[in-house]
């Protein structure tokens, strides 16, 4: 029976087979068998579990009894917990109501305080705009009272919240006392229930132990019987397993022998490779030893050389010390010679200074030449540009014509111009930027020259008087507002002088600092102050009577003081000064439009006088519409002086050179050839180079190849035509010979025919 079973088992798929599919089937069958055995064991356990033993019955009965005891104890204990929870729910409801009431009060107070805060904040802008100190003080006091009321209201709410906190603390202490009492009751009940449950558990444990002893004896008898049957089955299975293992071991031995043979072959190959590598490494080691020996010899040699050098250095040091002593003696002699040379070098310096002046002149000449060459190069650059563009346009026109002929005549298609358009010189961004910069610089130069030219124009006597009065006011403002430009020592000295003398001294110091040295500059100063001027009498209508009397007195004083100045200025002022003033004012007002501070000043001063841009001969107004003389605000004096210094220095700097264009080129170096960027130039000519796409170039290449092939074919045809003409001539000669030979005898004709045939061949 055992042999037949073994044979049947070996017919089944084996896990040790070489076929992978057979191994997969064997694993699946093994898994199925395991699952079947597990199911059988589970079914047996379920059947056994359905039959309850005596101990299980006793355990169930004792468990039910103990559960009843525990449930009764839980009811006794949970009564305390339920009462405590009900009390806690009631307390939470009361706290929620109190908290809700407090939150409602806080929200109402918050809304009220926000409204009051908005009222307080709405008053601040009015207080900031008002200029009366009493109104400001009253407003601040009222704001303070409102703030105090708001703070008092906040204090009341804080006191209410503190009382609520104290009440909550008292309730919390009472709740803690009640909770301690409940805990004591709960502890007593738990102790009594624990004692009862302990007694019940002990009694039930004794009963369960008795049932276990009875059941143990029965189980031992059943187990001994089962164990004997299992032992017999185990012996049978061991015999079968031994036979299986023998056959498996045989297969393993065969596999092991095969694997050992393969391993030995691999080991032999690996050993050979390692031996060769080892030999190579040994050779490398020998080479390294040789290198180390060479390096040691080199180091020894270098050490000996360094030792010799050290000895030589010691000898050289001694020699250097001797030289130092000699050189010190030489230094003393050189000092004497230096004093003599100093006198001689002074003369040389003077000569060199004269040479420097000459070289400076030469440099200026070179600068003028370089400016001339830059302009010439720029002109040549643009001429070459135009010439190249014309040549490129001509070539493009020729290419377009040829391309059109190819499309329409050779291909029979409609010709379309290229999609990419050409750039113009004016379309380049760098060219536009350069033209803008050049035009702007030209406009600035023209404006500066006009300002400088108009400085010397004459004006009427009335205007001169008005200018004198306004200039007197401006001088006083400058003297008052430019104290920071005067030294402290001068301030101390001014205290002993009169007001007029103080003004004159201050103006002298300020004009020295600003480099104002002529009357023309002082009269030109008016035009820079006019944009900041306003009518004082019109802006202060409340104090009109008092101010008009003061102005009348001031005007009288100014007229008396200006009579002396008017005689001198009439001979100096001419028509050019008027134009200069107009242009300066025009330039200043255009600058002032972009300034934020000038915008704010123009809103508050309704009588600001600005220059007209329609005509150069139109005069600048020095009075308002009502005829009042203008005044200057003290805050704008420094701004006007800064503008005067910057712009007047520009005018003088520009006109110090004779030619404007050369000065522009020398300062800015702005020419078209330099401003046009390399990127734009490359892009400009790239359009010419890449106006035809790759498809069109490929088409042209294909057409060239086709035409070349067609040309070759025509050449061959021409050659063949020549050959045909030669053959035709030969045929004509042969026919003529044949006709001449027909008259002769047949023998001679045959001979000639053969000869002609040879010739033909």
User: In the 8-state DSSP scheme, what is residue 629?
Assistant: B
- Asked if residue 613 and residue 755 are part of one domain, the reply reads no
What is the Cα–Cα distance from 44 to 41, expressed in whole angstroms? 5
β-pairing verdict for 631-632 and 533-534 = antiparallel
**Does 204 fall in a domain?**
no
User: Are both 635 and 703 inside the same structural domain?
Assistant: no
In a domain, 731, yes or no: yes
* Alpha carbons 551 and 543: distance in angstroms, whole number: 12
- Exposure b/e, 136-174, CB count within 10 A at least 16 = b: eeebeeebeeeeeebeeeeeebeeeeeeeeeeeeeeeee
Q: Is 227 left (phi over 0), alpha (psi -120 to 50) or beta?
A: alpha
| Assigned domain for 487 exists | yes
Instruction: For tokens 């110090």, name the residue.
Output: 656
Query: How many domains is the chain partitioned into structurally?
Result: 3
β-strand pairing of 631-632 with 456-457: unpaired
Residue 650, pLDDT score: 60
Structural domain includes residue 579:
yes
Instruction: Locate 175 and state its tokens.
Output: 């709740």
Report the SS3 class of residue 687: helix
Q: What is the SS3 assignment for 533?
A: strand
Residue 425 within a domain: no
pLDDT (0 to 100) of residue 653: 52
Radius of gyration of the chain (CA): 62
Record the pTM: 0.33
- Residue of 534, 536, 514 whose CA lies nearest to 525: 514
Verify that 636 and 746 share a domain, yes or no: no
- The alpha carbon torsion through 678, 679, 683, 684 (nearest 10 deg) reads -40
Residue 92 belongs to some domain of the structure = no
Are residues 651 and 723 both part of a single domain? no
Neighbours of 445 (CB within 10 A): 17
Give residue 721's pLDDT: 92
522 lies in the same domain as 578:
yes
Q: What is residue 424's DSSP assignment?
A: P
- In this structure, is residue 291 part of a structural domain? no
> Would residue 750 count as lying in a domain?
yes
Please state which of the ranges 127-141, 315-329, 509-523, 712-726 shows the lowest mean pLDDT.
509-523
Most confident of the following: 9-13, 75-79, 260-264, 657-661: 260-264
* Last residue within a domain, chosen from 656, 687, 707: 656
| Residues 539 and 624 both lie in one domain | yes
185 pLDDT more than 90: no
* Residue ranges making up the domain that contains 16: 2-49
Q: Does residue 485 share a domain with residue 542?
A: yes
Cα separation, 517 vs 511, whole angstroms? 7
704 in the same domain as 650: no
**pLDDT, mean over the chain:** 74
Q: Is the dihedral of CA 41, 46, 50, 55 positive or negative?
A: positive
638 and 574, same structural domain? yes
What distance in Å separates the CA atoms of residue 195 and residue 69, rounded to the nearest whole number?
Answer: 11
Compute CA 429 distance to the chain's CA centroid, rounded to the nearest angstrom: 26
Q: What is the pLDDT of residue 570?
A: 40
> How many CA atoms within 13 Å lie on the side-chain side of 371?
17
Predicted confidence (pLDDT) per residue in 126-175, tens digit: 878 877 788 888 888 888 888 888 888 888 888 888 888 888 888 888 88
Location of structure tokens 């009751």: 185
Q: Is the pLDDT of residue 536 over 80?
A: no
Kindly state whether residues 613 and 514 are assigned to the same domain. yes
Per-residue pLDDT band for 551 (boundaries 50, 70, 90) equals low
pLDDT band at 713 (very low <50, low <70, confident <90, very high): very high
Q: Are 583 and 727 members of one domain?
A: no
Q: Are 538 and 607 contacting, i.e. CB atoms less than 8 angstroms apart?
A: yes
Strand partners, 631: 534
Looking at 381-385, 495-499, 666-670, which range is the least confident one? 666-670
At 621 the pLDDT is 62
Whether residue 241 has pLDDT greater than 50: yes
> Which of 484, 478, 528 has the alpha carbon at shortest distance from 508?
478
CA–CA distance, 663 with 443 (Å, rounded to integer): 14
Q: Give pLDDT tens digits for 557-613.
A: 445 444 434 443 343 334 433 443 444 344 334 434 344 444 444 333 333 333 333
How confident is the model over 84-107, as pLDDT tens digits?
788 888 888 888 888 888 888 888
Domain end (from 635, 656, 677): 656
Task: Decide if pLDDT at 328 tops 50.
Answer: yes
Whether 182 contacts 84, CB under 8 Å: yes
Does 510 share its domain with 634?
yes
CA distances 77 to 84, 129, 189, 197, 603, Å, are 11, 77, 7, 14, 88
Burial of 2 (0-12, 13-18, 19+ CB in 10 A): exposed
**Model confidence at 267: pLDDT above 80:** yes
């Amino acid at each position: 029976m055992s042999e037949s079973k073994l044979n049947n088992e070996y017919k089944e798929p084996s896990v040790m087979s070489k076929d992978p599919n057979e191994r997969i089937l064997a694993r699946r069958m093994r898994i199925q068998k395991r699952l079947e055995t597990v199911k059988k064991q589970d079914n047996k356990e379920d059947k056994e579990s359905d039959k309850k033993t005596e101990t299980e019955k006793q355990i169930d009965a004792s468990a039910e009894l103990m559960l009843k005891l525990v449930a009764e104890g839980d009811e006794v204990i949970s009564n305390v917990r339920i009462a405590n929870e009900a009390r806690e729910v009631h307390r939470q409801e009361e706290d929620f109501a109190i908290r809700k009431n407090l939150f409602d009060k806080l929200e109402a107070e918050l809304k009220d305080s926000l409204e009051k805060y908005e009222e307080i904040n709405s008053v601040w802008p009015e207080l900031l705009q008002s200029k009366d100190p009493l109104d400001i003080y009253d407003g601040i006091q009222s704001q303070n009272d409102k703030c105090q009321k708001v703070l008092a209201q906040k204090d009341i709410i804080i006191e209410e919240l503190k009382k609520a906190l104290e009440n909550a603390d008292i309730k919390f202490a009472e709740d803690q006392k009640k909770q301690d009492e409940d805990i004591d009751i709960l502890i007593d009940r738990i102790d009594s229930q624990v004692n009862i449950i302990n007694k019940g558990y002990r009694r039930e444990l004794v009963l369960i132990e008795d049932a276990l002893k009875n059941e143990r004896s029965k189980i031992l008898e059943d187990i001994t019987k089962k164990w004997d049957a299992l032992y017999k089955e185990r012996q049978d299975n061991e015999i079968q397993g031994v036979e299986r293992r023998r056959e498996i071991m045989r297969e393993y031995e065969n596999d092991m022998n095969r694997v050992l043979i393969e391993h030995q072959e691999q080991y032999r190959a690996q050993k050979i490779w390692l031996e060769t590598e080892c030999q190579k490494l040994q050779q490398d080691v020998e080479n390294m030893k040789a290198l180390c020996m060479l390096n040691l010899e080199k180091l020894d040699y270098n050490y000996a050389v360094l030792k010799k050098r050290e000895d030589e250095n010691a000898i050289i040091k001694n020699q250097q010390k001797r030289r130092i002593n000699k050189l010190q003696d030489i230094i003393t002699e050189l000092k004497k010679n230096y004093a003599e040379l100093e006198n001689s070098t002074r003369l040389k310096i003077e000569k060199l200074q004269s040479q420097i002046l000459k070289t400076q002149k030469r440099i200026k000449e070179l600068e003028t030449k370089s400016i001339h060459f830059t302009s010439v190069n720029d002109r040549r650059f643009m001429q070459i540009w135009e010439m190249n563009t014309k040549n490129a346009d001509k070539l493009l026109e020729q290419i377009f014509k040829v391309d059109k002929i190819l499309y329409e005549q050779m291909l029979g298609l409609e010709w379309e111009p290229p999609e990419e358009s050409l750039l113009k010189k004016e379309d380049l961004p760098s060219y536009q930027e350069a033209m803008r910069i050049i035009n702007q610089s030209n406009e600035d130069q023209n404006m500066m020259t006009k300002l400088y030219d108009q400085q010397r124009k004459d004006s009427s006597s009335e205007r001169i008087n008005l200018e004198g009065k306004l200039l007197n006011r401006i001088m006083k403002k400058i003297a008052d507002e430019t104290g920071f430009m005067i030294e402290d020592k001068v301030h101390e000295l001014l205290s002993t002088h009169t007001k007029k003398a103080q003004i004159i001294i201050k103006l002298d110091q300020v004009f020295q600092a600003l480099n104002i040295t002529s009357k023309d500059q002082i009269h030109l100063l008016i035009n820079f102050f006019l944009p900041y001027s306003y009518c004082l009498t019109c802006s202060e209508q409340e104090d009109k009577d008092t101010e008009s009397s003061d102005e009348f007195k001031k005007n009288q004083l100014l007229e008396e003081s200006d009579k002396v100045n008017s005689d001198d200025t009439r001979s100096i002022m001419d028509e050019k000064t008027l134009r200069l003033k107009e242009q300066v004012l025009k330039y200043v007002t255009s600058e002032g439009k972009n300034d934020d501070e000038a915008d704010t000043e123009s809103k508050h001063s309704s009588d600001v006088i600005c220059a007209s841009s329609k005509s150069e001969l139109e005069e600048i107004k020095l009075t308002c519409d009502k005829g009042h003389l203008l005044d200057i605000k003290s805050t704008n004096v420094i701004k006007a002086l800064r503008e005067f210094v910057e712009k007047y220095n520009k005018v003088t700097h520009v006109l110090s050179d004779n030619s404007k264009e050369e000065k522009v080129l020398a300062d800015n170096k702005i020419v078209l050839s330099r401003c046009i960027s390399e990127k734009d130039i490359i892009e400009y000519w790239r359009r010419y180079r890449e106006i035809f796409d790759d498809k069109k170039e490929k088409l042209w290449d294909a057409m060239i190849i086709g035409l070349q092939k067609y040309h070759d074919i025509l050449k061959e045809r021409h050659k063949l035509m020549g050959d045909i003409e030669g053959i035709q001539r030969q045929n004509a000669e042969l026919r003529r010979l044949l006709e001449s030979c027909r008259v002769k005898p047949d023998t001679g004709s045959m001979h000639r025919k053969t000869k002609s045939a040879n010739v033909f061949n």
